[in-house]
Structure 1
Amino acid sequence: MMTVFPDPALAAGRHEPLGATVRDGGVNFAVFSAHATRVDLCLYDETGAVELTRHALDGPVDGVWSGFLPGAAAGQLYGLRAHGPHAPREGHRFNAAKLLLDPYAREIVGEFRNLPEDHGYPFGHPDGPFALDVRDNGPTALKARVAAPLAGPAPRASAPRHAPRDVVLYEVHVKGFSMRHPGIPEALRGSYAALAHPVAIAHFKRLGVTTLSLLPVQFAVDEPHLFGTGLRNYWGYNTLGFFAPDPRLASVAVRHDPTAVTAEFRDMVQALHEAGLEVVLDVVYNHTPEGNEWGPTLSLRGLDQKSYYRLQADDPARMENLTACGNTVNVEHPRVTQLVLDSLRYWVGEMGVDGFRFDLAPVLGRTARGHDPGSPFYAALRQDPLLSQVHLIAEPWDIGPDGYQLGRFPGRFMEWNDKFRDTTRGFWLGHGPDGTAIGRADFARRFAASSDVFRVGGAAGAAGASAQRSPLASVNFLAVHDGFTLADLVSHSRKHNDANGEDNRDGRDNELCGNFGVEGPTDDPAIRDARERARRAMLATLLLSQGTPMLYSGDEFGNGQGGNNNAYCQDNEIGWLDWPSADDALIAFTAGLAQLRRTHPLLRHARWFDAPGAARDAAGAGTPATLRWYHPDGRELREPDWHDGGVPTLAAALRDDHERLLLIANPGAASLRFALPPDGAWHLLLDSSGELAPAPVSGQEIVAPPRALLLCMAAATAPSSP
């Protein structure tokens, strides 16, 4: 039962931790605002519609306003009102008529409906966003609810610890994974609970992935332009609550109870951990739903816009937009750094997750000098006793100046490698981004974990940065949520985003793809065969290359989106995985690739080939592993061979003291003879096209089928033939 207060005096509070904390028979409240002149704590009844009392917090002390409310308890609804200058041209947009969500809210109730009164200015006013709207939006605004301390052991206690070289990532949307899965109970579909259902876990284990990379699960709202369209922000890249799991991803029975939503999320993590699976969260600390100067006033804007956001240097009335989402969070500010780090620690320490993928990650390291690998945020992250132990994955680009930062992240960061994506696609499709063929040299670099990017150390010279990164820093992928699925990129030559309601203007133009002669589905057996060969060859390249592989959920069974390469607003059968049409043979093929990767250490190096001390055995003895490239005629490739302009067929020979492997890549439309290196007899382990069965190779040559990747092992270390 919620306690209603007649209007007690607020006692002196503690300035830390920030947010609402149950303690000593009451609740402590603390919030940061460097430029406010007063901050009010507003208590609401259990419906969230009636404001009961209002209390002025003490402060500021180092920018923090605080107070202690005796007798208050978990379950109390509240919001904040910040007083201060309304001077938009100076960067200040204080408006005490607007109820603000606590940035540290762990439980959030209500629904954002993008009402006119949610904005700090009156619609239609001639001064636009510089005008002041004095309507009180309290009855309809989102509210924070005081959360009780989490009970029971944190799921982190049971977390698996996979060696970095063993990690296989699987990017997946919590809801989309299970909404059409016939093996998961209908009442659970689309939820955290469904992702931890035994049927889901069985699929992940069969597939051989170790680490689920979840699309955003933090509390998100829809963009204003989606209201009234029947569409919604399905992907969730519009975070408002950095400490609260999104109730829209909980099972129907609990989604209206924030406490139960949190419990369901923790139970999911616990179940996945017990199955040996790690959980990585895609997190969005680069922008918020408050948008540009025309956007709503929901939280950070009203609390202290000038501290929380980056403003244009020559016009502080305008937001700096390095994200294409209207605003940019000012992570360079110490208190904003604290907000991000506190949020990350909460998800690891209390919710049990195993790491993060940072959306538009360069924003986090931007200073007045641009992106800085030695920035205070990265330094704080790397020294944190909790966060320094988990996976850190960067999307290494934003839309700002010098926004492409692939290879320039420090320490243990892994990075999404779009160079691998485009080269692998182009190699097997027969054309690169500019229409010309992908050459041997480019394919070889991507196969070898993009040594030109990570081994040379793009971050060299930056404070705290290493001159050389591990090959595992390269997160290799073929497709992710943003773009074509694997099935679509071999079935379409252009995007088909009409269902998004933006006249097909949204989504990436000129995405590398190819339809092999017919746009979309076809019954032509030759085209279907070519598409299937290309798709399997790409999957084999992904899972057998050096680096850290990442599968996009559904690619393992042929899921498509009808050519939509920007399904961010498609919370329907376009965006959900099409399990009823799943290709089980393709699942088995993908699982077999993952098994080959696990079985052969040469396919998953933690060090560079030929580097000092690389790839020695457990005792440190032996010679370093080697990687050599071969021409189809059996000789090692020479300089002219890398640029001969013909079909870029080649072979990679990997060798250490324990085994010898040979990967043969034939992207051409015709079969091709390969002379095998003179290392004795060879055994074929894999032909991605399926033409050749695993068996000993007769003689010293092999005929590689069209559009196929082959894996062979020297017979001395090969399995005995059946």
Structure 2
Amino acid sequence: MSQLGATITNEGIHFAAWSSSARRIWVSIFDDQGNRELDRLELQPEGEGVHALFVSGLAAGARYGLRADGDYAPERGFWFDPDKLLVDPYALDVDRPYAYDGRLAARRGEGADTAPLMPKAIAGASVKPLPALPPLFRPGGLVYEVPVRAFTMLHPDIPEKQRGTIAALAHPAVIDHLKRLGVGAVELMPVTASIDERHLPPLGLRNAWGYNPVTFMALDPRLAPGGLAELRQTVATLRDAGIGTILDLVFNHTGESDRLGPTLSLRGLDNRTYYRHAPDGALTNDTGTGNSVACDHPIVGKMILDTLRHFVSHAGVDGFRFDLAPILGRVEGIFDAGAPLLKAIRNDPGLGGRVLIAEPWDIGPDGYQLGNFPPPFLEWNDKYRDDVRRFWRGDHGMVGALATRLAGSSDVFAGAGQRASRSVNFIAAHDGMALADIVAYEHKHNEANGEDNRDGHSENLSWNNGIEGITSDEAVAKARFDDQCVLLATLFASRGTIMLTAGDEFGRTQKGNNNAYAQDNTITWLDWAGRDRALERYVVLLAALRRAVPALSDTHFLTGKADASNIPDVAWLTETGAPLAEADWNDPSRHRLVMLLGDDGGGRLAVMVNGDRRQCVFTLPAREGFEWRPAIEATAVDLARPLPGRSVNFMIERGVGTARAGKGA
């Protein structure tokens, strides 16, 4: 099969596109500004669905689009319309952002040529592949979720022209912040070119998250005005600082949406192949966005694999997070952990060793697949998120669930003889309430989205300040600060991979909006000038502790068995220092426990959790020749005195006379 897309040679450009049912396909060549169509040349069938043509005299920088003709019968899944200019699915660059216009969705014969409304693909010169370096990020590290535009739009140290771009992530001020937090990898929310949903422009809104792609390889010019080279350089700069890069990619749907959506690329080339359909010809919608990509089709699987290889070999990324990942494993609509595409990703020599993170749910039949992805896929763990929130909200009977989540969620990930957790532990993400809002808003406030507060989840497991009966602003602020601290301390005390969304370390707020996808404004832009520096300092201390105690980031499941130093890898204790008995585990009113982790040096780390509102004296077991010391000296506690209610505290056991650790920053 010919290489798809635009391939540049010394003599010209070879264009190739795939369609199983188009009768004719053309390439339209445009002027240097992408405004005037200079030529329209028909590609020739080569067999196996490939249409190709070599055009001599063209060079890198040529702007082009595709057109296709065939049956037009939307009720049967055919949308061919040569008046619709289509973006090449293999385009590596586009000359302008997408902008929704109702004329893009006009029926055949009812609208004008859409070329003036569409970005043009830019044929780019081949880029020398990067050396195949292993990923920096390892399971057990800290993933830092970054909305690229919102992250730096208000950053005072970033030059104004650079704010909101991928290049801004390489600024020394950003890198310094990431290093202080101990970030193992930044996870960039979608940076490929996307289009607004059709209901947003009339509301004066635009998609701020980017989870509405058109094609899969071309970067959004607003986020990467320097194109692939900008991403490549930023990834290299982050790597030099010891920080990996993970791309959040959307292969489950595209911005062509449902039957009322625009025709932009895949729909106009071969709608029935690229998207899944019901037997009656209707688009399948396992995503909630109007369509589902047919990831089980070989040509679609090839396009996805080619996309992943492109970003590894030409940008040097560490790996990928897959949005609504069960769709990648659906075979004829049914999820299969052994699906050909998932198997191909794992077995690919250039991809199998990358960081692979699945969002393990979609809204289709049997769409909740937490724990069912094959290794080495890591998985977003919403059970962790929900159980931690329930515990700190004060729900009864949660102490056992909290212990399970702290220990790596063996109930989810220990199946089939697996010895290590694949959990990505998180308390808040881009989707849902910000961490600061969890402790400040009992209900969502999505009025700004223009849907009368109907959108977004109604159950957020959140609470308003956490303490009933407090009235002063100062008391409310302190209660909310303390609750953010316990949530963050719980996250950093959890075994396995952890994820923090950018800004949660310093109290970002979306004013209760739990579905802020359409808020490209100060609702989502991080307020660097007004950030809570005390909270940020605390997170820096937690990060230092996590780096100093490898037992916290270890992904192996705990057994309770002793090692060579006769110290078990974990013991679960009551506040009195006694082992938690069955009655304690089953006590619905219990809100306290101690996780006692053994470390490689023969010492132990005590994580003392007081979820009760009352103070409590904690007692830790003593050993001759050892002593308990504050694990974070800047937030030292005294075991002889009651520890505050709703708190997480850390003590570390070291041999008498050994050097102190965990001083923090």
For the criterion TM > 0.5, the same-fold answer is yes
Matches within 5 A, 1:19-418: 19-121=5-107, 133=110, 135-150=112-127, 154=130, 161-165=136-140, 167-250=141-224, 255=225, 260-313=226-279, 315-316=280-281, 318-368=282-332, 370-418=334-382
The alignment status of 1:642 with 2:585, answered yes or no, reads yes
Letter in 2 for 1:551: L
Which of 669, 672, 682 does residue 613 from structure 2 map onto? 669
Cα distance between partner residues in 2 of 1:522 and 1:308 = 57
SS in 1 for 2:121: strand
SS in 2 for 1:139: helix
Instruction: Note the alpha carbon deviations across 1:90-129, whole angstroms, 9 max, x for none.
Output: 221111221111001111124534334312517xxxxxxx
Instruction: Note the alpha carbon deviations across 1:512-545, whole angstroms, 9 max, x for none.
Output: 11013799x9853333222222211111110111
Number of residues of Structure 1 aligned to a counterpart in Structure 2: 658
SS in 1 for 2:618: strand
Letter in 2 for 1:148: A
For the 8 Å contact 1:364–1:377, the answer to whether it is kept is: yes
Instruction: Note the alpha carbon deviations across 1:218-252, whole angstroms, 9 max, x for none.
Output: 111111111132210011111113111111113xx
Cα distance between partner residues in 1 of 2:102 and 2:523 = 32
What residue number does 1:683 align with?
628
Which of 433, 441, 444 does residue 400 from structure 2 map onto? 441
In structure 2, do the counterparts of structure 1 residues 438 and 198 end up closer, same or farther at CA, with 3 Å as the change threshold?
A: farther
What residue number does 1:627 align with?
570
Cα distance between partner residues in 1 of 2:363 and 2:255 = 18
What residue number does 1:452 align with?
411
Cα distance between partner residues in 1 of 2:386 and 2:446 = 21
In structure 2, do the counterparts of structure 1 residues 414 and 57 end up closer, same or farther at CA, with 3 Å as the change threshold?
A: same
For the 8 Å contact 2:593–2:610, the answer to whether it is kept is: yes
In structure 2, do the counterparts of structure 1 residues 708 and 111 end up closer, same or farther at CA, with 3 Å as the change threshold?
A: closer
What residue number does 2:643 align with?
704
The alignment status of 1:533 with 2:482, answered yes or no, reads yes
SS in 2 for 1:239: coil
SS in 1 for 2:67: strand
What residue number does 1:607 align with?
556
The alignment status of 1:545 with 2:494, answered yes or no, reads yes
For the 8 Å contact 1:609–1:624, the answer to whether it is kept is: no
For the 8 Å contact 1:623–1:657, the answer to whether it is kept is: no
Q: How far off is 1:66 after superposition?
A: 1.2
Cα distance between partner residues in 2 of 1:529 and 1:47 = 56
Q: How far off is 1:440 after superposition?
A: 1.2
Which of 519, 537, 540 does residue 591 from structure 1 map onto? 540
Q: Which runs of 5+ in 2 are unaligned?
A: none
Q: How far off is 1:684 after superposition?
A: 3.8
Mean Cα displacement is larger for which, 622-631 or 188-197? Answer: 622-631
Report which structure shows greater RCO (CA 8 Å, sep ≥6): 2
What residue number does 1:651 align with?
594
Cα distance between partner residues in 1 of 2:112 and 2:471 = 58
Letter in 1 for 2:194: A
Letter in 1 for 2:118: A
Instruction: Note the alpha carbon deviations across 1:72-100, whole angstroms, 9 max, x for none.
Output: 11111111111211122222111122111
In structure 2, do the counterparts of structure 1 residues 385 and 160 end up closer, same or farther at CA, with 3 Å as the change threshold?
A: closer
Cα distance between partner residues in 2 of 1:176 and 1:438 = 39
For the 8 Å contact 1:87–1:93, the answer to whether it is kept is: yes
For the 8 Å contact 2:409–2:423, the answer to whether it is kept is: yes
- Aligned Cα RMSD in Å? 2.4
Cα distance between partner residues in 1 of 2:342 and 2:133 = 27
Cα distance between partner residues in 1 of 2:161 and 2:97 = 22
Cα distance between partner residues in 2 of 1:439 and 1:653 = 18
Q: How far off is 1:322 after superposition?
A: 0.3
What residue number does 1:516 align with?
465
Cα distance between partner residues in 2 of 1:469 and 1:36 = 50
For the 8 Å contact 1:58–1:65, the answer to whether it is kept is: yes
Cα distance between partner residues in 1 of 2:116 and 2:550 = 60
What residue number does 1:560 align with?
509
Q: Which runs of 5+ in 1 are unaligned?
A: 1-14, 123-131, 432-436, 461-466
TM-score (norm 1): 0.87
The alignment status of 1:468 with 2:407, answered yes or no, reads no
Cα distance between partner residues in 1 of 2:553 and 2:467 = 37
In structure 2, do the counterparts of structure 1 residues 539 and 113 end up closer, same or farther at CA, with 3 Å as the change threshold?
A: closer
Cα distance between partner residues in 1 of 2:420 and 2:352 = 16
Q: How far off is 1:133 after superposition?
A: 3.5
Cα distance between partner residues in 2 of 1:403 and 1:38 = 38
Letter in 2 for 1:707: R
Q: How far off is 1:333 after superposition?
A: 0.2
Letter in 2 for 1:712: M
Mean Cα displacement is larger for which, 113-122 or 337-346? Answer: 113-122
Q: How far off is 1:364 after superposition?
A: 0.5
Which of 430, 438, 455 does residue 481 from structure 1 map onto? 430
Which of 570, 591, 594 does residue 519 from structure 2 map onto? 570
For the 8 Å contact 1:661–1:713, the answer to whether it is kept is: yes
In structure 2, do the counterparts of structure 1 residues 600 and 583 end up closer, same or farther at CA, with 3 Å as the change threshold?
A: same
Mean Cα displacement is larger for which, 34-43 or 288-297? Answer: 34-43
What residue number does 1:6 align with?
none
What residue number does 2:604 align with?
660
Instruction: Note the alpha carbon deviations across 1:274-321, whole angstroms, 9 max, x for none.
Output: 1111111111110001001111111000100110000112x11x1100
Q: How far off is 1:584 after superposition?
A: 1.7
Q: How far off is 1:656 after superposition?
A: 4.8
Instruction: Note the alpha carbon deviations across 1:148-190, whole angstroms, 9 max, x for none.
Output: 1226x73x6677624433x211001111111111122222211
Q: How far off is 1:546 after superposition?
A: 0.7
